Amino acid sequence: MNTKVTTLSNGLRVASCSMPSSQTVAVGLWCGVGSRYEPARIGGASHFLEHLLFKGTRKRTARQISEEIEGVGGDLNAFTAEERTCYHAAASQDHFSRIAEVLSDMYCHSLLDPAEVERERGVIGEEIEMVRDEPCQHAHELLSGEMWKGHPLGRPITGSKKTLAAITRKDLIGHLRSHYHAGRTIFTAAGAVDHDDAVELAGRFLGKLHNGSSLPRQTVPPSCSSPRILIDPRESQQTQLVLSFRGVGAADPRRFAVNLLHVIFGGNMSSRLFQELRERRGLCYSINSSFSTYSDCGSFEISLGLDGANVCKALKLILGECRKLVEKGPSRTELRRACDYSIGTSRMALERAATQNYRLGVSLLSYGRIVPPEDVYKRLANVPISKVQAVAGQTFQNRRLSLVMVGPGPSREEIQSIIQSMR
């Protein structure tokens, strides 16, 4: 792999990863803004804007945007997160210029037509309701609200029905002009791509994008001083249980130990949680852990779906496994397996152009540079048992726990009693 980065005269960064065996190219246009940077009044503006950039430009209708990429067998999509927004497409290598031009046209020349604004407001309203009707997604959205209560990270990326109704076309134009400038934009390309070609295309299509100011520094969310519990006792066939502990940020050196802790604890079918709650006890179909890292903070989550009558038993087992890792740490065999798993799954994923494209954008936005995968692998391989045990102790603190239950199950008092008894 040959990774290069160039900064254009207007401040826009261009990153590429050449993959000689690839016959496709994946392209991304990244903006370093997301829901975390929105005023509360217009929560969801970044996501709203993401939708609207697909709805027509000065030279293309919404249908023409889709047809130009899908008409050559390509994929076109986008996503909004807490600290970034990305528009991405992929197709065979001979359509590199087409992909770059269409994405750039969307990014720089979208009309934000008033009729489309109102039409898409309705679409996003349905998206909000869809999440609310899907217990697992709804549980995770509620969990973020509890974990980061009172902070922008706790707001839904889509916004609420109230903020969605309040956002005006003027707000969206202002949001675009404030954030969609060269200084916060990254053009990435991976696969069958030459870096000089990527730089030339970025300069041709994005070279006139104006520069602008950097984002204001955001406050770090305060830590919980006691467990937070939220219950939505809706009628359902299965109860969703999600737990979250305060984690580490993207630049925290402990993140490598957290990665291995995640794999050991609930990252795959060999993990402690899967083996104990599914294989040995038969309490659930699936259970897993995950971790999220933002620029200055993060979270460590556990999620599962099960019969509401088994929630107390499952919670005791989960917190019991937390305590075991804090008190004894992992075995040498567990640590080696977790390291091999993390490195192996990463190497397999990075054989895909789309994953390499994602790596380029996230790395530049998170660290201001491209971090070589082999550097990450070396850091993972050098994490000792003591570091994993230490980060387990720092993470699995009941006072830093947020818990959400969606569906029938025990009372708040019963859950609180279990948490207190497992200290």
Write out pLDDT tens, residues 381-408: 999 999 999 999 999 999 999 999 999 9
| pLDDT of 224 over the 90 cut | no
What is the pLDDT at residue 343?
Answer: 98
Determine how β-strand 284-293 pairs with β-strand 185-191: unpaired
CA torsion 189→182→121→44, rounded to 10°? 100
For the chain, percent of residues with pLDDT exceeding 90: 95
What is the pLDDT at residue 225?
Answer: 83
> Tell me: the pLDDT tens digits for 362-385?
999 999 999 999 999 999 999 999
- Is residue 214 included in any domain, yes or no? no
Task: Indicate whether 244 and 151 sit together in one domain.
Answer: no
Smallest CA-to-CA distance from 196 within 385, 14, 73 is with 14
Q: Please, are residues 69 and 89 in contact by the beta-carbon 8 Å criterion?
A: yes
Q: Please, are residues 361 and 188 in contact by the beta-carbon 8 Å criterion?
A: yes
Task: Indicate whether 185 and 68 sit together in one domain.
Answer: yes
Could you tell me the pLDDT band of residue 1, with boundaries at 50, 70 and 90? low
- Is residue 262 included in any domain, yes or no? yes
Q: Among 206, 239, 268, which residue terminates a domain?
A: 206
- Is residue 362 included in any domain, yes or no? yes
Task: Indicate whether 147 and 277 sit together in one domain.
Answer: no
Task: Indicate whether 163 and 130 sit together in one domain.
Answer: yes
Task: Indicate whether 97 and 181 sit together in one domain.
Answer: yes
Task: Indicate whether 259 and 333 sit together in one domain.
Answer: yes
Taking the CB of residue 301, how many other CB atoms lie within 10 A of it?
21
Task: Indicate whether 319 and 391 sit together in one domain.
Answer: yes
Q: Among 141, 172, 206, which residue terminates a domain?
A: 206
Amino acid (one-letter) located at 372: P
Determine how β-strand 185-191 pairs with β-strand 13-18: parallel
Smallest CA-to-CA distance from 102 within 72, 60, 145, 138 is with 60
- Is residue 311 included in any domain, yes or no? yes
What is the pLDDT at residue 201?
Answer: 98
Amino acid (one-letter) located at 28: G
Task: Indicate whether 47 and 119 sit together in one domain.
Answer: yes
Active site residues: 50
- Is residue 147 included in any domain, yes or no? yes
Task: Indicate whether 16 and 153 sit together in one domain.
Answer: yes
User: What are the backbone dihedrals phi and psi of residue 34, each rounded to the nearest 5 degrees, phi first?
Assistant: -155, -165
- pTM assigned to the model: 0.96
> Tell me: the pLDDT tens digits for 281-298?
999 999 999 999 999 999
Q: Please, are residues 175 and 212 in contact by the beta-carbon 8 Å criterion?
A: no
Task: Indicate whether 274 and 416 sit together in one domain.
Answer: yes
- Is residue 215 included in any domain, yes or no? no
Smallest CA-to-CA distance from 315 within 230, 405, 393, 397 is with 405
Long-range contacts of 193-200 (CB under 8 A, 24+ apart): 193/16, 193/17, 193/18, 193/19, 193/25, 193/93, 193/96, 194/16, 194/18, 195/2, 195/4, 195/6, 195/14, 195/16, 195/18, 197/96, 198/14, 198/16, 198/100, 199/6, 199/8, 199/14
| Mean pLDDT of the region 248-255 | 97
In 293-400, which ranges are continuous DSSP H helix? 311-328, 332-349, 353-367, 373-381, 385-395
Residues 6 or more apart from 255 whose CB is under 8 A from it?
248, 249, 293, 298
> Tell me: the pLDDT tens digits for 138-184?
999 999 999 999 999 999 999 999 999 999 999 999 999 999 999 99
Task: Indicate whether 288 and 335 sit together in one domain.
Answer: yes
| Mean pLDDT of the region 305-324 | 98
* Exposure string for 19-43, b = 16+ CB within 10 A, e = fewer: beebebbbbbbbbbbbbbbbeeebb
Q: Please, are residues 104 and 206 in contact by the beta-carbon 8 Å criterion?
A: yes
Q: Among 145, 176, 206, which residue terminates a domain?
A: 206
Strand partners, 306: 239, 284
- Tally of domains within the chain: 2
- Is residue 125 included in any domain, yes or no? yes
Q: Dihedral sign for Cα 198, 12, 203, 5, please.
A: negative
CA 195/CA 174 separation, integer angstroms: 33
CA 294/CA 117 separation, integer angstroms: 30
Tokens of 250: 């993207």
Task: Indicate whether 193 and 239 sit together in one domain.
Answer: no
Question: Across the beta sheet with 13-18, what order do the strands follow?
Answer: 2-7, 13-18, 185-191, 24-31, 85-92, 75-80
Which domain covers residue 44, as residue numbers?
A: 2-206
The enclosing domain of 145 has a CATH number of 3.30.830.10
Q: What angle do CA 109, 114, 116 make, to 5 degrees?
A: 80
Could you tell me the pLDDT band of residue 213, with boundaries at 50, 70 and 90? confident
Strands (E), 205-266: 228-232, 239-247
Containing H/E element for 196?
Answer: helix 195-206
- Is residue 47 included in any domain, yes or no? yes
